[in-house]
Amino acid sequence: MKKKMLSLSAVIAAVLAVSLSGCGQRTDEPVPETQKATETEVVTEAATEEITEAQKVTEKETETEVQTETEPATEAVTERDLTSDEEMDEEEAYPASITMYAADDVNIRSTPDTETSDNVISSFDQGEEVTVIGETPGWYVVEKSEFSGYVRKDGLSDTAVEPKSPEERAEQGGSSSGSETTSVDLEYNVQTYAESFTIQLGSDANLRSAPSSDAGIIGTIPTDTVVTALGSTDEWYKVDFDGTIGYVNRNLIM
């Protein structure tokens, strides 16, 4: 801006010099009025050009500042909320399986969604190695024994995870899972869920001491009663009914 002001001063000085010198005329000769007017117009035009250029610079700087201030911030990428079918439509199989680790006790589901409770087919204990064979946008496809299923991506870790101690498991399970229940689970290969959920009885049901129609009846559960599912076999649910742990046939669940 200082350079432009100096330039304007130089123009004015030059014009005045020309005016005083009379463009080669004698200093004692009067300057014609038309020449004076022309010289005045030149000075005015030069000054106007300097001001206009200064305004353009100022406007350009202002536009840059406004554009910078008003430019919208990049929106954060959020997770898509997909249905089970949409997840499976985008399922991708890995060319080779990889090993990951259960970040906590996690359920394996037959479909990639948590909206239904009857799709839990198995689980992994915290720290357990997991064979991953593919993925969807929000789930990993995993293998265990002779079957495959889905585990939420936030349930697995790339690095090894320390398993829970017996004390942590006892505290987590509380007093409801005593030694008798544990021995029954082992005998009948009951798969305990990492995350319990509620289910509703579709008819009156016998609560049995083991997942077998020959096991003793320890209670009766009325129709429409909601109980907590703790685990399962192919034909039975392990449930918590008002603090009593037992087994209910799957056919009696809504």
Q: How confident is the model at residue 79 (pLDDT cuts 50, 70, 90)?
A: low
pLDDT of residue 61 exceeding 60, the answer is: no
- DSSP one-letter string for 173-201: HTTSS-HHHHHHHHHHT-EEEEEEEEEEB
> What's the chain's average pLDDT?
76
**What residues pair up with 237 in beta bridges, in sequence order?**
232, 248
- DSSP one-letter string for 120-152: EEEEE-TT-EEEEEEE-SSEEEEEETTEEEEEE
Residue 32 tokens, joined: 């014609």
Which of the two residues, 178 and 57, has the higher pLDDT score? 57
Q: How confident is the model at residue 185 (pLDDT cuts 50, 70, 90)?
A: confident
Q: Describe the crossing of helices 2-21 and 33-70 by its angle, rounded to 10 degrees.
A: 170
pLDDT of residue 5 exceeding 60, the answer is: no
Nearest CA to 103 out of 168, 49, 154, 179 is that of: 154
pLDDT of residue 112 exceeding 90, the answer is: yes
Q: How confident is the model at residue 140 (pLDDT cuts 50, 70, 90)?
A: very high
Nearest CA to 148 out of 161, 165, 158, 134 is that of: 134
pTM tops 0.85: no
Give mean pLDDT, residues 216-232.
91
pLDDT at 81: 81
Question: In this structure, are residues 104 and 155 in contact, taking their beta carbons and an 8 Å threshold?
Answer: yes
Our separate counts of H helices and E strands in the chain read: 5, 13
pLDDT at 137: 95
**What residues pair up with 131 in beta bridges, in sequence order?**
99, 143
**What is the Cα 18 distance to its own chain's centre?**
75
pLDDT of residue 9 exceeding 70, the answer is: no
Q: How many CB atoms lie within 10 A of CB 49?
A: 14
Share of residues in the chain with pLDDT > 90 (%): 35
